[in-house]
Structure 1
Amino acid sequence: MTSSPAHRSGHAIELAWLAVLATLWGGSYTLIKLGVATIPPLTLIAGRTLVAGGLLLLILRWRGMALPRDGATWRRFLFQACLNSVVPFTLIAWAEQSVDAGLATILNSTSPVFAFLLTQAFTPVPPTRRQLAGVAAGLAGICLIVGPQAFDGLGRQLAAQLAIVAATVCFAGAAVFGRNFQALDPMMPATGSLLCGAAILVPLSLCFERPWTLTPSAGSVFALLGLAVFCTALAFVLYFRLVRTLGPVGVTAQAYLRVPIGVLIGALFLGESLTPGVWAGLACVVAGVAAMAAPARRVRAPR
C-alpha cells in the first residue's frame, strides 16, 4: 500500500521540525563555548536546565496541564535526565573549555550511528538496507564537509574529546529510551526530565563551584539564556515529539544536519566560500537523513 498524500505531507512537516531541531542544537556548541568563558561547566548546565525546566513548567500551567504524580513516571524522567542532559551537557561543557566548538559538533554528529547500534541491540527488528545506506551516506557527507583539516586537533586534549564521544553515546541512549514517553504530551517528558536534571545539577554547582562568587560576563549570561530558552526548552519539546513520530534513529539523524547547517550559516553571514566537496557532502548528508528518517513502506497484505 502506497502512502497517501496526507501521510507524505505529515512526514514532510516532521522532517522540517527535524531541521529546526538540528539548527537549535547546532548553535548550542557556540553558545556553550561563549558560556564557559566566564561560567564554570556545572553552573552553566545547572542554570541551563533550571531556567528551561522552569519555563516549560510555567507553559504547562498556562495550558492547564499538570505533570504526572506517580513514582514510576518520575523515575523514568530521572533516568532520561541523566542520559539527555545531566551527563552529556556537563561533559560537553567541560570539554569545550579546551576543545573548539566545531570539533565538538563533528564528534557529536555520530549519535545516529550509536542510536542505530543501540536500537539493533535491544530490539529484534533487523536493519534495512536503506537504514544502513543512510548511516554510511551521513558519515561520508560529514567527512566531505569538514575535510581532514577539521581534525587537526584530534588526538590532543584526548580526555576532552573522549568526553564528547561519551556524551554522544548518552544522547543515543536517550533517544532509544525516549520511546517510553510516547503516550505523553511531548512537553511532559521535556519538563519532567529538565526539572530532574536541575535537581541534580544545582546542588552540585552550589557545592563545587560556588556560583555566588562568580562575575560572569554579559556575553556568557546571554549565552546561558539562549541555551536555556531556545536550545533546551524549545528543543526538548521538539525532540520528544520527533522521537514519537520519527523514532530514535530518525530523530538522532538531525546530528548529521548540524554540520551542514553551520557551513551554510557561515556562507550566508560570514562570507565563507563553499567548495565542491562541501556541496557533495551536503548532498550525502541530506540523502542520509532522508533514508534514516523516512517511514517504512507498507506492502499490500495478500487477500
Structure 2
Amino acid sequence: KYDMDFAECRAWYDGYRFPHAGHIYSPKSVVEAMLSHRYDAYWNSTETYEALKAYIDLNEAGLRDAIVRMMAGASIPIDTTTFQNDMTTFTSADDVMTLLVHLGYLGYDIDRGEVFIPNNEVRREYVTATKHGEEWRIISDTLKASDDLLAAVFEKDAAAVAAGVEKAHLETSQIQYNDEDALSYTLSLAFYSARRFYNIVRELPAGKGFADLVFLPRPQHAEKPALVIELKWDRTAETAIRQIKEKEYAGALADYAGEVLLVGVSYDKKTRQHEAVIEEWQQ
C-alpha cells in the first residue's frame, strides 16, 4: 500500500527475539515510516537518549568494550541472574546490560544467553549516546570518518582506504586487542556508514590473523556494489585479495548480478602501517 521495501523495514525495526513469537516490531516506528515514506529513527522520540547514555556511562567493568563490540555487530554473553530488578543497583556490566534489555535498548537471545543491538534504529541511539564525552571520543571519531572511508572504497582509492582503516585500527585498539575478533569489529566500526545501504555479514575466519566482512546491498540500494573486505596482519594486501578469491567468498553472491568489489587490507603489527588493494570481481 505504501510502496515501501519490506527488507528495509526489517533492517530498521525488527530484531528482538522471543520464543514462539516470531518477529517483533515497534508499531510506532513502522507507522511513522509508512506515513512519512522514509525509514528513520522514530522509536527514540518516545524517550531521550540521555536515558541510554546515563547507563552506558556507568562503564561497569567490561561494559564499554561490550558496547563497542555490539555497535560493530557482535553478540555478547550475559549473566542475567545478578540483576536486582531495579534502576539503581548495578554491580557489573551484566547488570547494566540486563536493564538495557528491559528498556528495549538490547535484544536478548535466551537460547544462547547473549545480548545484541537489535536493529538500525536502536543502533543509531548508541551512536547518538556516544557522541559526547571524552571516554567515547575514540568511537565517535571513528564513526564520523566512516562516510569518507566508504566513499574511498566506491572511488577505488586504495591509499585512502588504507589510511582510513589504519586510523580506525590504531584508535580503537586502545579499547580492543589485536585478535581476529577485534580486527573484525574494527572493520565493522570503520565501515559503520555502510549500514545505510547494506546488510553486513561477518564471515568466520579460518586462519591466523584475518577478519572478513561481506556487504550485500539492500534492494533499494541495488546501484551500490557488493563488497567483500578482508584484513590480514603481517601479509600483503595482495595476499588478502588472493585469500578472498581462494575462499570464493563471491560464492555467497552467486545470485547477485551487480558489481562486486574485493577490498584487501594488510596490517603490519611491527610498523602499524596498513596498505590496501581494491579489485573488481570478475565472475
TM-score of the aligned structures, taking structure 1 as reference length: 0.25
Higher relative contact order (CA 8 A, sep 6+): 1
Higher strand share: 2
